[in-house]
């Protein structure tokens, strides 16, 4: 079945350093979404990418969708302590005739002040 993997699983950075998480799907996706889950909280939607090669920015966050629509990345420039949390990608695709999202394994980010 469809699988979505993320790397790295964990990342510790010093405040001010950059951070990148990568998402890879075993199948071609219709779209990809990114979510952030703060410690003890629930996932919150960040952004959606639909087009092949699409790049979107939200302040210090840059999101990319691969040309083949099978991979994506999230890059945070100059991390802050408020960036702490787990970042999930969710790949949307038709599976067995039904459209659904498969979440990646997540990357847990810790930012050291």
Partner 1 sequence: DGGITQSPKYLFRKEGQNVTLSCEQNLNHDAMYWYRQDPGQGLRLIYYSQIVNDFQKGDIAEGYSVSREKKESFPLTVTSAQKNPTAFYLCASSRGKTGNTIYFGEGSWLTVV
Query: For 60, phi and psi rounded to 5 degrees?
Result: -85, 0
SS3 75: strand
Of the CA atoms within 13 Å of residue 81, those in its CB half-sphere come to: 2
- Nearest CB to partner 1, comparing residues 13 and 46: 46
Residues 56-85 within binding reach of partner 1 (CB under 8 A): none
Helices marked H in the chain — which ranges?
Answer: none
Residue 50 near partner 1 by CB under 8 A: yes
Which member of 59, 82, 99, 113 binds partner 1 (CB under 8 A)?
99
User: Rounded to an integer, what distance in angstroms lies between the CA atom of residue 11 and that of residue 109?
Assistant: 5
Residue 41 near partner 1 by CB under 8 A: yes
**Positions that interact with partner 1 (CB under 8 A):** 1, 6, 30-31, 33, 35, 41-45, 48, 50, 88, 90, 92, 98-106, 108
């Amino acid at each position: 079945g469809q699988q979505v993997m993320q790397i790295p699983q964990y990342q510790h950075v010093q405040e001010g350093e950059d951070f990148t998480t990568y998402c890879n799907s075993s199948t071609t996706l219709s779209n990809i979404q990114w979510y952030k889950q703060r410690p003890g909280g629930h996932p919150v939607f960040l952004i959606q990418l639909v087009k092949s090669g699409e790049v979107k920015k939200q302040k210090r966050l840059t999101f990319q969708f691969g040309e083949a629509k099978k991979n994506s990345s999230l890059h945070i420039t100059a991390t802050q302590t408020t960036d702490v949390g787990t970042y999930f990608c969710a790949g949307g695709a038709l599976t067995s005739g039904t459209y659904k999202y498969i979440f990646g394994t997540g990357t847990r980010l810790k930012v050291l002040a």
